[in-house]
Amino acid sequence: MTAVGDAMYALVERLYPLCRSITGDGVRATLEIVGEYLPLQVHEVPTGTRVLDWTVPQEWNIREAYIADSTGRRVVDFADSSLHVLGYSVPVSATMPLAELRAHLHTLPDHPSWVPYRTSYYAPEWGFCLAQETLDALPEGTYEVRIDSALTDGHLTYAEHVVPGQVADEVLVSCHVCHPSLANDNLAGIAVATYLARALAERTPWYTYRFLFAPGTIGAITWLARNADRVQGASAARAEPGAGGRVEHGLVLACAGDRGGLTYKQSRRGDAEIDRVLRHVLRGSERPHRITEFTPYGYDERQFCSPGFDLGVGSLCRTPYAGYPEYHTSADNLDFVAPEAMADTLAVCREAFAVLDRNRRYVNLSPYGEPQLGRRGLYESLGGRSDAKQAQLAMLWVLSLSEGEHSLLDIAERSGLPFDTVAVAADALHKAGLIKA
């Protein structure tokens, strides 16, 4: 886990300098780098495309931006940080006094050395973000202001990666790729998603796992609009893995690399299988964590859980959005994220999906009285195990609750036994012909 934590941190380092937004070349450059780690299917959706109640906006790109004083010295320069420009700023080239310029400057007076992250996606505006101490040091006078940006008809870009499973029904894993130089929100989530996909590909999972790398809000809405047939209606046939089955479960990854404890935000349903799995895994792991109720504010879980779709999609992060002072500021930098924190987030995802993949319902084929386990060699198979008594008890619980209605997770929760112990017992009973899936 140390090695994979370091590898994820190195990916965050590569992505950190890029200027990302909800559209544009920064998103494409980000996906090109992720594409070195995973094969991606990249989608380009034209400006003006109607997506549910929204419309794909014009594409935004920026080449240069600065504020220069009367000597020509650049007191604020986009080249130093992609946070320095208000996201989606319209182009401007002008000279103006500081008094007029102030209306277009954004700072954080409570954190005078930090630069805020601000955007104006759907209203024509321009502006700069800078440290309050930088603004305080500016003398009155005339300043040259230049933002060399372009808003043109273009495309919204997102990408998918699919890990084929034994069935076509899918688990959706989503992360947002629209923020500029913010290491925890959103780069740590991108890194964890990338290495989670690589880990899942090392085996053949039960479900097909679809990874979505998309701009926040508008990207998720665009994906939902283009995949409505797979997120609504009857379940897809369990055939042709990777061909596009129904989305059965989902997880949004964000703020995945800070040193805080883990937080799982439940789906709108609150009792979706993914909710129960994450609760079980986090409680059983004894990690510091919080389980929170769904709210219609946050990341793209609010799109996937909107009432028309009502998908079983939760959100996993460490410290939640807006829950740490560094959120959406220049202090969310490479020093703020930790390799071991990303490795821990990845480990929880792997544990959760291992439970999700193995969770089955069984039918007891010898339901009249307790079957004789000894003559089938099931007790002998436990010989030498330190948890032999627990494993034997797990077999009895599986037999007792296998009537086709209780899942292995149900049994683990009711019995108080670890899920893995219950699943191993079910495997042994299945092999002995005492239960069937």
Residue numbers in the known binding site are 179, 185, 328
Using alpha carbons, select from 332, 381, 377, 363 the residue that is nearest to residue 430: 363
Q: Are 31 and 223 in contact (CB under 8 A)?
A: no
Residues 6+ apart with CB under 8 A from 124: 90
Tokens of 359: 């969770």
Cα separation, 404 vs 14, in Å, equals 49
Cα separation, 421 vs 389, in Å, equals 11
Residue 148 pairs in a beta bridge with: 64
How far apart, in Å, do the first and last CA atoms of the chain sit? 34
Letter for the amino acid at 296?
P
What is the Cα Rg of the chain in Å? 25
Cα separation, 191 vs 7, in Å, equals 9
DSSP reduced 3-state for 61: strand
Q: Are 131 and 172 in contact (CB under 8 A)?
A: no
Q: List the binding residues for Zn(2+).
A: 179, 185, 328
